Amino acid sequence: MSPSPVTVFLAAPRGFCAGVDRAIEIVETALAHYGAPVYVRHHIVHNVHVVADLEAKGAIFVEDLDDVPSGSPVVFSAHGIPPHVREDAQARGLDHIDATCPLVTKVHASARRHAAADQTIILIGHAGHQEVIGTMGQAPDQMVLVETVEDVMALELDDPDNVAYITQTTLSVDETREVIAAICEKFPNVRKPKGQDICYATQNRQDATKVLAEQSDLVLVVGSAHSSNSNRMVEVARTYGAASHLIDDANGIDPAWLEGVDTVGLTSGASAPDALVQGVIKWLKARPRGAVVELLDVVEEDMHFALPSKLRSLPVANR
């Protein structure tokens, strides 16, 4: 008797968030208007497949504005930039377009507001992440970065009663809860964000991953290794009791992972195209046991961010 097919629980929501959708559309719109090449400072989003697709269409990704020819169009990535990058672009006469996620822009505005009030700003985030670099740049002389409770405990601030905190958007409520509690305990008068800085998509995808992990032997997360939110989803799945692996696409699956596995949870990070998820499903169905897919609908998303006013109704290039 043949073994029954593997059950694949497909998470919803998964994949592109509104900020990623917007950033990709910005680059594609810029290419349609200006023609190739359009330069992009840093990878527009953290996914190798998205970057490769846009490169094939004529985008050129650079890390330094010095690599952008004078007068050329340049797009700033969804992760946000320090102010000096925009100033450099203006000084060089570059036609710049900002694809910073609106949720990140909101955090930048909070940082500048706290800085104007002469408050020390505690940023909760991961050192070296592009979003953190951009946020730190909003008030570099007044901001300190913490990642852990231990970092908070080690802080010695000149005016502990004049402190505010903000967070990297691509963390989750679970990730920040203990650090925020430590900040509030050490600095009882700390100014808190007026709204939730945490990205809705990051939280929703992690919440869906928890449900997947509780129902699956194995959880596969489609996303790039340098995607912060994708890596966190793997950690969440493992915390909730499932074996879990991060894969770029179906080629990253080790068949040994499936030995003795009857249920597979499948999801993807906020910058992973759904075509890659469908490729994993196709791979699983082609296995000797086959696979059946069940949608696991956890949260409904309907968020959309408009393009920058500069790009709306632009004419298409003739060249």
What residues act catalytically? Answer: 131
Strand pairing partners for 263? 7
Residues 271 and 105: their CA atoms lie apart, in Å, by 18
Structure token pair of residue 219: 């959880």
Rg of the chain, C-alpha, whole Å: 21
Residues 194 and 289: their CA atoms lie apart, in Å, by 52
Residues 166 and 192: their CA atoms lie apart, in Å, by 7
* C-alpha dist (Å) from residue 11 to 118, 229, 251, 265: 44, 15, 20, 7
Structure token pair of residue 129: 């992440």
DSSP 227: -
Tell whether omega for the bond before 37 is within 30 degrees of 0, i.e. cis: yes
